[in-house]
Amino acid sequence: MRKFKLPSSSYNWLSAVGATIAMISLSMIVFLFVISLFYEEGGSYLGLFMFIVLPVFLVIGLILIPIGMIRKSRMDKKRKTKVIREWPKFDFNDRRTRNATLIFGVGTIFFLFLSAVGSYEAFHYSESVEFCGTICHKVMKPEYVAFQNSSHARVACVECHVGSGADWYMRSKLSGLYQVYAVTMGIYPKPIPTPIRNLRPARETCEECHWPEKFYARQLVMNKHYLPDEENTEWDISLQMKTGPAYSALGLQEGIHWHINPDVKVEYVATDSVQQNLPWVRYTNNKTGEVYVFKDEGNKLSEEELAGLEIREMDCMDCHNRPSHDYQTPFKFVNDAITAGMIPKELPEIKLLAMGILAEEFTTTDSAMQFIDSEIKDYYSANYEDLYNENYELVEQAIAGIQEEFKLNIFPEMKVSWKAYYNNIGHLEFNGCFRCHNDKHSTNEGRVISMDCNLCHSIIAQGVPDTLQIGSIYDELEFVHPNDPDGGWKDGLCFECHWDLY
């Protein structure tokens, strides 16, 4: 058999190393690919290697081959004393040239094909929820867990975090590269601060699925609360949320989604980076041309201060800033867990006890789990000995329920919990709507952004189930605060007490 020969320049160690690296990477890619066809799980790391790490080595190997060849032929020429300043000749009568061209030609086509498939896969892969949510496992855990627990669990991270167009694509990949670096070096901040500069969702992203003209009818919200007393007394509140007007024919003319009516422009200025302090608000009616400027009486800005601040137009995210990462407050998740039966209501004082435990600061999830376990056992064995002995399963159920909810909403390793991020949708534990709607933002003529309790919702039932006060959508009730006969709640904004009630 005739020997298969290549140009002499290809016989050098650098090209050989390059070829070896390329061959090994290629066979590993093929191997992993075959494996991934059979095994679903472990996918995220496999993908990382298959589509990103190994191809980098493959390309490095391939680049080394010609570099080695060029170096070799230069060295050969130097040895032959006479300096030849010529391009290499391609003589196809020479079998070695034919072989090299064949390998190069077939190799290139094969490689181009592979890289087309590969980059397509790499693109898809880098856009996948598993890539965003699990590769940086520890770092993104809070966002990922909360996301899976939200109404957007089926919306890919990139649908919200990466806008459309090439510039967004570049921005996301560049900041992604930086993030990989930051995570590898362990220099990422805990918690991840918002607003996230390069990946903050914009109004357009939400509007790909929810367009502003879409009318959302009024909605009934029914909440069950449990008071911090011995019986965990149930306290119900039912509200009709005035998301839209009473009659759908009126569209966005009134109600909560009036802010996103295309005829309406609401702008504001914030004096802090997380937009909690909004001393200046301007409402422009694009149709009639009316303009109202509201200034916070208690926090007036001078002209110079105002000129130095960015005026932002209000959009979906100014209210729905936690559409997919809602780290619920213990106030909410403990009430809900009692309603769902995960924490037994029959256990005396469990509401108060749970809230006290959850108000502690923890450094790890494990220590929190242990603390929940020991505190609850200690409390009931010391204060309710009979119950502890006879109904021990209730105690265990409460422990499991609180632990479960803790893991869904509080992430000590990343310092993430409801305290790390504001949620602007209501007004109980965060200032939310009351940032503007507090009766203190007024125009020179005395028009205010109203805090009327019936502006955004009507309370149609409230109180203890046995003596429930019942109204109707035509006859709304005046708010009654539990255990507050003197109306002390009127002295402050809800969040001033509720932010850390326990």
Closest CB 12 distance from ligand HEC, rounded Å = 47
Is 151 a binding residue for ligand HEC by CB under 6 A? The answer is yes
* Binding-site member from 457, 458, 460, 477 for ligand HEC (CB under 6 A): 457
Structure tokens, 122: 């790499």
Q: Which is nearer to ligand HEC, 309 or 451 (CB)?
A: 451
Separation of alpha carbons 213 and 388, rounded Å: 57
424 burial type by CB count under 10 A (0-12 exposed, 13-18 middle, 19+ buried): buried
Q: Which is nearer to ligand HEC, 76 or 230 (CB)?
A: 230
Q: Which is nearer to ligand HEC, 228 or 401 (CB)?
A: 228
Tell me the pairing of strands 234-241 and 219-226. Answer: antiparallel
Structure tokens, 405: 């909810």
- CB count in 10 Å sphere of residue 2: 5
Q: Of 450, 451, 440, 447, which Cα lies nearest the Cα of 290?
A: 447
Q: Which is nearer to ligand HEC, 36 or 443 (CB)?
A: 443
Closest CB 149 distance from ligand HEC, rounded Å = 10
Separation of alpha carbons 121 and 350, rounded Å: 51
Is 62 a binding residue for ligand HEC by CB under 6 A? The answer is no
Q: For residues 498 and 331, is the Cβ–Cβ distance under 8 A?
A: yes
Residues numbered 90-149 forming contacts with ligand HEC, rule: CB under 6 A = 129, 132-133, 140, 142-144, 147
CA angle, 62 as apex, 58 and 66 as ends, to 5°? 170
Cα–Cα distances (Å) from 490 to 237, 386, 481, 486, in that order, read 18, 42, 9, 9
Helix, strand or coil for residue 283?
strand
Is 345 a binding residue for ligand HEC by CB under 6 A? The answer is no
Residues numbered 282-341 forming contacts with ligand HEC, rule: CB under 6 A = 283, 292, 314-321, 323-325, 331, 335
Residues numbered 199-228 forming contacts with ligand HEC, rule: CB under 6 A = 200-201, 205-210, 212, 216, 219, 221, 223, 225, 227-228
Closest CB 235 distance from ligand HEC, rounded Å = 5
Residues numbered 241-280 forming contacts with ligand HEC, rule: CB under 6 A = 241-243, 254-260, 266, 268, 278
Q: For residues 284 and 291, is the Cβ–Cβ distance under 8 A?
A: yes
Is 196 a binding residue for ligand HEC by CB under 6 A? The answer is yes
Q: Which is nearer to ligand HEC, 32 or 425 (CB)?
A: 425
Is 61 a binding residue for ligand HEC by CB under 6 A? The answer is no
Q: Which is nearer to ligand HEC, 142 or 401 (CB)?
A: 142
Closest CB 130 distance from ligand HEC, rounded Å = 8
Residue that is written with structure tokens 């009639």 in the block: 288
Q: Of 182, 295, 301, 320, which Cα lies nearest the Cα of 243?
A: 320
336 burial type by CB count under 10 A (0-12 exposed, 13-18 middle, 19+ buried): middle
* Binding-site member from 237, 368, 376, 477 for ligand HEC (CB under 6 A): 237
Q: Which is nearer to ligand HEC, 236 or 373 (CB)?
A: 236
Number of amino acids touching ligand HEC (CB under 6 A): 98
Q: Of 317, 329, 338, which Cα lies nearest the Cα of 495?
A: 329
Q: Which is nearer to ligand HEC, 59 or 264 (CB)?
A: 264
* Binding-site member from 426, 430, 458, 477 for ligand HEC (CB under 6 A): 426
